[in-house]
A and B are shown apart, each in its own frame.
Chain A
Amino acid sequence: GIQVEQSPPDLILQEGANSTLRCNFSDSVNNLQWFHQNPWGQLINLFYIPSGTKQNGRLSATTVATERYSLLYISSSQTTDSGVYFCAVGAAGNKLTFGGGTRVLVKP
């Protein structure tokens, strides 16, 4: 099956800093989503982005499908950005395969 790798595994930021999270995948995909799992365990949809670039407030994402990677940018980080960020991809069918996540801690 498709392999999804996220980097870095852990990230510690000072409030106000910018960061880039990366997601590499091993095959062509028809679906790519970024999620934020908050400290209460809830999976929050950030972006549905099988290709192209999207922005939502301080967050933006870019997927280069031909090169099999996606990037999530966090600008001016806040303590509420802490949590785990997951990339999930879908190839044939409708199943999402999740990466291992990037654990982000934003310090005040």
Chain B
Amino acid sequence: DAGVIQSPRHEVTEMGQEVTLRCKPISGHDYLFWYRQTMMRGLELLIYFNNNVPIDDSGMPEDRFSAKMPNASFSTLKIQPSEPRDSAVYFCASSLEQETEAFFGQGTRLTVV
């Protein structure tokens, strides 16, 4: 398996624009997670899905952020409108079952200017 695949690897956008980050989990994994990494807050969980259903979105910072998982092999994280403080590295991860090892994608480095 190619592992968790994220796209794009880098994204530079202007404030106010819509940004969509994409993730393909490892085939057969039932759990998908979105994390954000910043210098100030470290690595923090934004939202996670089980069998394509959002389970916990308490980490989503505000209504400008939304995430979807239309099928078992694809998820998106959307920011609309984007702001400079959204600049961060966004990671997607997946795991096979509950309380099992999670594997991370290479991340998307987002810069909002």
The total number of A-B Cβ pairs within 8 Å is 52
- Chain A interface secondary structure, helix, strand, loop or mixed? strand
Which chain A residue lies CB-closest to B43?
Answer: A98
A-facing residues in B65-113 (Cβ within 8 Å): 89, 91, 95, 98-104, 106-107, 109
Interfacial chain B residues near A33, Cβ < 8 Å: 101-102
A95-B45 in contact (CB<8A): yes
Cross-chain pairs A/B with CB under 8 angstroms, 20 sampled = A31-B101, A33-B102, A35-B104, A41-B106, A42-B104, A43-B91, A43-B107, A45-B104, A48-B100, A48-B101, A50-B99, A88-B102, A90-B99, A94-B55, A94-B95, A94-B99, A95-B33, A95-B48, A98-B42, A101-B42
Interfacial chain A residues near B95, Cβ < 8 Å: 94
Interfacial chain B residues near A100, Cβ < 8 Å: 42
Count of interface residues, chain A, beta-carbon cutoff 8 Å: 22
Least CB distance, A107 to chain B, in whole angstroms: 24
The 3 A-B pairs with the shortest beta carbon distances in the complex, nearest first, are A48-B101, A98-B43, A43-B104
Which chain B residue lies CB-closest to A29?
Answer: B99
